[in-house]
Structure 1
Amino acid sequence: MQDFTPILRRVSQLCESLETDAELREEIERAGFPSDKWEDLAAAIRSGSADTLTALLDAVEDAAADAGLDGITHPHREYRPLPDGLPEFRTISGWRCPHPHRCGRVYPTADASSVRWCAVTGDALTWISVDSG
């Protein structure tokens, strides 16, 4: 069975990149990623087709590199220590990727009414709650 983790990290990074820069999609298109390929990318994310998805992510990254943009689909890591004195039991709720092979992005919040959306596919994210302890 194929490990989708690296691909999902790339999808997550692309989603975050598009979400934080409203002009990014247009810049990538001007640099050579055809506008009709976004639908192909969304379909590959929804279906979980690893080969197609990898090829499309590579094409996005190549176009971004041609535009002088780095790391559009390659994530970086950030360390944040947990706060001291966490309770033994707690519930975390929020929105997560809705696709068969989830990218791993999660938006923790107690507000289930403010639906979040995938910046790549436009699909509504899924509401989840996780109990720990």
Structure 2
Amino acid sequence: MTKKEFQQAEGNAVDILKESLISFKELADKEGFELLIVFFPMKKEINNESFEYNHILYDFALENDINSLDLLQYFLTIGNINSKNSSDYYWKKDGHHNSTGYKKYAEGVYWKLVQDSLIKN
């Protein structure tokens, strides 16, 4: 794949994901449930303190009034996960969370639900 082809495919993928976010919001509005989209960081993104792609979708969600959680910012500011300790929260082989990482993930979602008054603390 050439660089131009990659950029085109990347743009198409982002457009499809944006359409999916709008579809989820429309479904939530139609069916009367609260929607929360969680943008989840990979270890590399924590170490760089920046999403590679999700910032585009997170900004799009905010612009379209789609309730979202930037779990990267939660991890960095509230969850105390950073480049010095990120290895404690992810498996070395596949980059997925280990049990400690999933606990932090759940704490972040719980925090957002409380912030939005969707559940009581």
Alignment TM-score, normalising by the size of structure 1: 0.26
Question: Looking at both structures, which has the greater relative contact order when contacts are Cα pairs under 8 Å and sequence separation is at least 6?
Answer: 1
Q: Which has the higher helix share?
A: 2
Alignment TM-score, normalising by the size of structure 2: 0.28
